[in-house]
Structure 1
C-alpha cells in the first residue's frame, strides 16, 4: 500500500473527520473538496496537517469537479446518504472522477451491507443499489466500506431516548464500533490494493442486544432503567406506512427511510454480511486493536449524558 492521492468530500462530517485524520496519519496526499469559502476549524486543522483545501462553488459542475480531481487516485464520498446525494450528486461526482482519470470511487455507504440487501427492503438501500449499478458498469474501480453500527447509536444509552430502546430480534449479532476506529479503518481500506472492487466489513465487535442489556445491568445494578421495545412486526409495518417527515431526535433520515434501516438491521439482520465479495477487516488488519463495547458501557458519560 504505497502513498496515494485521496480526495474527500465530507471531510468535516462524522465519518469524514476520523477518515481524513487517518489518511493524513498514514502519509497520503489528501485533497478536501468543499463548498465553503470560509474554512471551519476542522478543515483549518487538516490544512495545518498537510491537506489541500479545494473550494468548489458548484459541486454539480462536472468540469469544475474534474479539474479538482486531476491527479487523484481515489475519491471518497463521506457524506450523508440522502436521496438527493445518491440520485443527483454522486452520479455527477462519478462522471467527474472518470473524466479526471481517478482510479477508485468510494460512494457513501458507512452502514448496512447494501449489496446484500434486496430491492424493496428499504428506501435508502434501493437508492444506493441503483447507484451501485451505475458505478459498477462505469469501468472505474470501487470499494464499498461497511462499518456496521456506531457506538453512539447502537449501544444502549439514555442520550437519544428517554428509555433504553431496543428493536426487533434481540438475538441478532450487532456489529458496532467506535467512530475513531471506523474512520481509521476506512482510511486503511480505501487505499488498500486488496480491497479494489470489493466490499469491506468491519467485524471486530459483535454483541446481541440481549448481551448489551446484560452488560448494562451488570455495570449499573442500582439504576432503575426504563425500557421500550419495537417489535419486528411493528418495524415491518412502519417500513411500509411511514411518511417523509423527519421526527427522530437525532439524524436526518425521513421516517420511512429510518424504519427501512431498522428493518434491515433488526429484522433481516443485514447490518453486517460476510460473503465471497466481502473482506473482513479482522483478516485484512489482524493486529489492529479497537475500542471494545465493554469499555463504553461502563462509562457513565456515555450511558447517561446527552
Structure 2
C-alpha cells in the first residue's frame, strides 16, 4: 500500500492505541490530534512520538478552523473515539467540516462495533445518532470508510473483563464474531489506508463462535472453577431497550442505559453485530492471509480468563 498521511483523534483509546501502532508499523505518516495533556495519555503519546508520530494539541476541538489548520496535507482523518451522543452529534460534524475545509480525502467516523448501516432507525438510540451523521457524511464531498470490527474478546468471551459473573445475552446460538484488540487495530490500520475501501463498509469476519460454544469451551478448559452465571433473555433485552432512561449504571463505558440496551438488542436479538450489505467488504476477502488470534486460545489462557 502507498504511504499516506493519517490523522487520528483518540489515539490513546481502546481502539486508537492498536490502530495507531498499526499505522506506524505500516510506515504511514501519523499525526495525533489531542486536546490536552494528562499523565495517562502522555506516556502513550511519548511512545508514539518515539515511533515517529507527530503530536498536535488543539485546545478547542470544536474550532473547525483550528482543526482544519492541523489537517493540512492529511489524506485520511480517523475518529477512533467512543461513539457517545455528544461526539456523534456535536464533535463529528465539526471534524467533518474541518476535513472538508483542509481537503482531506477520506473521513473514518467512530464506528468500530455493530454494523450501523445494516440496521433500521429505531433499533437502538446510539445507532440512530450514527445513521443521521452518516447521512451528512455520505452526502458530503469526501470519501469515507465505515469500519466494523464486531466484538472484542474482553467484552464477548463472555464479558470476562467487565462483569462479576459469566454473563450471556439473548439468543445463545447466534454466531458472535469477536477478535483480539490488537488484531482489530492492525486490520483497521490496513483498511483505512486501502484504496479498495473508499466509500465502502469493512466488516471484520475471521472468528465466529456462538455464546453456547463459548460456555462449553470455558467449562471444558476450567472444569473445577466455580464460575457464576447470569443470562439476560431476548425478551428482557427488548423490554429494557424500550423502557430504560438516560442514567449511566454500567460498570464499563459511558453509554446511557437506553443506549446500552439498544446495543445489546442489535447484537443479541436482531443479530447485527456483523452484517453484510451491498457496500460491505469482508476482511477475509481483503486480507485472506491474515491470521487472527482465536477465541478458543483466549479461553484457554489463564491470564485472560482470571486476570482483570
Question: For residues 156-235 of structure 1, what are the structure 2 equivalents within 5 Å?
Answer: 156=158, 158-235=160-237
Q: Find the counterpart in structure 1 of residue 15 from structure 2.
A: 15
**What is the aligned-residue RMSD (CA, Å)?**
1.0
CA contact (8 A) 2:221 2:300 kept: yes
Aligned partners of 2:98 and 2:304: how far apart in 1?
41
Q: Which runs of 5+ in 1 are unaligned?
A: none
Q: Which runs of 5+ in 2 are unaligned?
A: none
Aligned partners of 2:159 and 2:140: how far apart in 1?
43
TM-aligned CA deviation for residue 302 of structure 1: 1.6
1:55 to 30, 37, 57: 57
Q: Which runs of 4+ in 1 moved over 4 A?
A: none
2:126 to 124, 127, 133: 124
1:149 to 148, 151, 154: 151
Give the secondary-structure state (helix, strand or coil) at the position aligned to 1:76: strand
Aligned CA distance change for structure 1 residues 102 and 301 (closer, same or farther; 3 Å): same
Q: TM-score, normalised by structure 2?
A: 0.98
1:165-187 per-residue CA deviation (whole Å, 9 max, x = no partner) reads 11000110100000000000000
**Equivalenced residues, count:** 306
Give the secondary-structure state (helix, strand or coil) at the position aligned to 2:215: helix
Q: Find the counterpart in structure 2 of residue 2 from structure 1.
A: 2
Aligned partners of 1:248 and 1:2: how far apart in 2?
42
Aligned partners of 2:141 and 2:159: how far apart in 1?
44
CA contact (8 A) 1:158 1:305 kept: no
Between 247-256 and 123-132, report the one with greater CA deviation. 247-256
CA contact (8 A) 1:32 1:54 kept: yes
Q: Find the counterpart in structure 1 of residue 114 from structure 2.
A: 112
1:260-291 per-residue CA deviation (whole Å, 9 max, x = no partner) reads 00000000000000122100001100111111
CA contact (8 A) 1:19 1:184 kept: yes
